[in-house]
Structure 1
């Protein structure tokens, strides 16, 4: 059996296994994982840089893009650096406080991500259903308040998870079959009663996201209602095209989230490595694809990036 350089009696350390069953392929698996993380980090940082730099981009839609980018950077950066340490250097030990801190930022970033998607749906709804009052309904100040509300929701809902686990007694086996400290993966190591952890984790996971999806569905219901009242097909296409990027972002986020969450709790017949790969894809795919989606769909942002790049290249030629 592989030695992890810690004794089973060590109560201050957990061991992250990476992807059990695929240890021999960790180096190869790390390549697409790292590339996805790097592309996502670069893309999201680019959005933050240009929105911060260009005053013309400092308006509600772009502030929401910044919030989305920040939530994705937090979730992916909470998980990937440690996962790379496991894959590349076999550094599998993680202290209990670090594990619980990682758990908090991972799940808080996920809930914040969901809250931003709801706000973006509301933004599109106002832009299409009430365009003349858009600037008064959704000012920068109001967007900032909605962002703070989403952050508060994330902290309040997620903080009990590590607090509950910090009071649990853990067994001699402190090996976490995962690349990061997922709530249920850590809870299953406890020798105590984790009924409260299971119930609360399930409620937070599904209720928060189902409420978010319900609000998004209501927003799109109002959008569709107003679009159908427009007689011009060209106007139909123009109105719906403004929602395309948001819909694509949701399609990269929610299906992988629900499939990962359901298989982790109820998919006992599914191989563990499938659970873990899906869980990592939930963090990596949106982080990598969302900046690309908005970069392709948003001409104003794309033009700013192109102009800046052209100016920098011209200076060196």
Structure 2
């Protein structure tokens, strides 16, 4: 089924996000149950949102969620079920023609299932039979390292902890998942270039910096809770520059659903003070141009007897090859 995508001229968040969440919740489950779950999300005594990995602030709001997170919870605790009759009516070949959204909207599994090649369908089996067959397969390997325990990046932290505990008891530490596969280039590339295989910025750094450059990501789509941090940054007078081939609304302007004034007045916060739409793959050329400009301005400052524009001590201590670059 094709859905018509209408043009949206409003800011990211705001009443548009509230309406979208309400629609998703209405389709999936009991609204009261969903709201109760949302109050526990991203809380020390609650659970982490499965929507993204944005960190939790030290002092969170009573309702520390975003549009994506609310929808993720609605899908997780949906009342809809896919049982044996669903798989009896739908072969695997037919399900391959369904879109991701259609499959998600069908509901949650209610019992163990096993693929039957003859009918091309998944057929139910008892929990005891499922455990027996899984156990027999695991016991058939001579070395636990022959097994990989693959899981989804959408798995909750709590479920992932139990899953890895089970695998370690079995004797394996092979835990690939989609997040691991996605960020493997990051861990290798960053480790070689800066010595650490992950980002080096803390959430608290957003409260101290003067400038944030958002390059190569779409926070309004992938991790909307970041918009709250960007909004707070702009409100205190810092700047945010966006570099993105996509003109994402979430990097342009934002209405915070947790802010009563913006919601009641339908106002918004301008986020990016400058937005550069580079061509896809053009970020490399842009970064090289920025480096060249900094070096040229630093050379001019040095020739005029002014202080260096570069952090020479940092460059000498933590980098190699700068002279060749220059």
| TM-score for the superposition, normalised by structure 1 | 0.23
Compare relative contact order (CA 8 Å, sep 6+) and give the higher one, 1 or 2. 1
- Computing the radius of gyration from Cα coordinates, the structure with the larger value is 2
Q: Greater helix percent: which structure?
A: 1
Q: Greater strand percent: which structure?
A: 2
| TM-score for the superposition, normalised by structure 2 | 0.23
